[in-house]
Chain A
Amino acid sequence: MLLLAAAAQAASTVETPNVRATLLAYAPEGVAAGQPVWLGLQLRHRPHWHTYWKNPGDSGLPTTFEWTLPDGVTAGGIEWPAPRPLPFGPLVNYGYEGTVLLPVPLDLSDAARGRDLRVRLRADWLVCRETCIPESGDFEIVLPAGRVLAANRAAFETARAARPAVLSDVRAAAQVRGDTLEVEVAGLPVRLHGATLRLLPETEGLIDHARPVPQSWQAGRWQGRVPLSSQRSASPERLAMVLLAGADSFRVDAPVAGWRAAMDAAVPAEPAPAALAGFAAALALALAGGVLLNLMPCVFPILSLKVLDFARHADARRTRVLGGLAYTVGVLLSFLALAGALIALRAGGEQLGWGFQLQEPAFVAALALLFTLIGLNLAGVFEVRGLLPGSVAGWRLHHPAADAFLTGVLAVVVASPCTAPFMGAALGFAFTLPAAQTLLIFAALGLGLALPYLLASLVPAVARLLPKPGPWMARLRTLLAFPMFATVVWLLWVLGVQVGVAGVVGLLGVLLAVAFAVWAWALPGRSRIGLGVPALALAAAAGVWAAPALRPAGDVPPAVEAGWMPWTPEREASLRASGQPVFVDFTAAWCITCQVNKRTTLTDPAVLADFERAGVALLRADWTARDPAITAALAQLGRSGVPVYVLYPGGARAPLVLNELLSPGAIRTALDPLKRKETL
Chain B
Amino acid sequence: MNTARLSALALCASLVLPAAAWAVATVGQPAPDFTAADTTGKRHSLADYKGKYVVLEWVNPGCPFVRKHYSSNNMQATQREAVDSGAVWLAVNSTSPRSGDYLPPSDMGKWMQGQQAAASATLMDADGKVGMAYGAKTTPHLYIINPQGTLIYAGAIDSKPSGRVEDIASATNYVKAGLKEAQADKPLSHANTRAYGCSVKY
Contact = CB atoms under 8 A, between A and B. Distances in A.
A573 B201 contact: no
Interface in A578-633: 578, 580, 608-609, 612, 617-618, 628-629, 632
Contact of A629 (B4, B21, B33): B33
B24 interface: yes
Contacts of A229: 22-23, 135
Interface in B163-202: 163-164, 192-202
A574 interface: yes
Interface string A445-469: 0000000000000000000000000
B62 A131 contact: yes
A91 B4 CA distance: 31
B28 A266 contact: yes
Interface of B: 2-7, 10, 13-14, 16-30, 32-33, 47, 50-51, 62-65, 68, 99-101, 132-133, 135, 137-138, 149, 154-155, 161-164, 192-202
B85 to A, nearest CB: 20
Contacts of B6: 563, 612, 617-618
A230 B23 contact: yes
A12 interface: no
A612 B7 CA distance: 10
Given A211-B19, A608-B2, A617-B6, 12 more contacts: A59-B196, A61-B163, A131-B198, A132-B63, A179-B23, A205-B194, A210-B19, A266-B28, A565-B10, A570-B133, A573-B23, A574-B23
Interface residues of A, number: 62
Nearest to A91: B199
A167 B15 CA distance: 36
Contacts of B47: 349, 351, 628
A396 interface: no
Contact of B99 (A60, A130, A179, A632): A130
A668 to B, nearest CB: 17
B51, B68, B135: residue with the most chain A Cβ atoms closer than 10 Å? B135
A559 interface: no
A132 B201 contact: no
Contacts of B149: 349
Nearest to A133: B64
A280 B162 CA distance: 54
Nearest to A631: B30
A309 interface: no
Interface of A: 1-2, 58-61, 88-91, 93, 124, 126, 128, 130-134, 136, 179, 204-205, 208, 210-212, 227, 229-234, 266-267, 269, 348-349, 351, 562-563, 565, 569-571, 573-575, 577-578, 580, 608-609, 612, 617-618, 628-629, 632, 635-636
Contact of B199 (A93, A134, A136, A232): A93
Across the A-B interface, the 3 shortest Cβ-Cβ residue pairs: A134-B163, A349-B50, A563-B3
Nearest to B191: A233
Given A124-B164, A230-B23, A565-B7, A59 B2 contact: no
A511 B54 CA distance: 48
A348 B148 CA distance: 10
Contacts of A570: 20-21, 24, 132-133
A375 to B, nearest CB: 39
A575 B18 CA distance: 12
A130, A132, A618: residue with the most chain B Cβ atoms closer than 10 Å? A132
A352 to B, nearest CB: 12
A132 B16 contact: no
Nearest to A574: B20
A231 B192 contact: yes
B19 A90 contact: yes
B62, B63, B155, B198: residue with the most chain A Cβ atoms closer than 10 Å? B198
A498 to B, nearest CB: 21
Contacts of A629: 32-33
A563 B7 contact: yes
Contact of A204 (B154, B194, B198, B200): B194
B88 to A, nearest CB: 13
A45 to B, nearest CB: 17
B199 A58 contact: yes
Contact of B29 (A59, A128, A269): A269
19 contacts: A58-B199, A88-B199, A130-B99, A134-B68, A134-B163, A134-B164, A179-B23, A205-B192, A210-B19, A211-B23, A212-B16, A229-B135, A230-B25, A231-B27, A233-B193, A349-B149, A563-B7, A577-B23, A629-B33
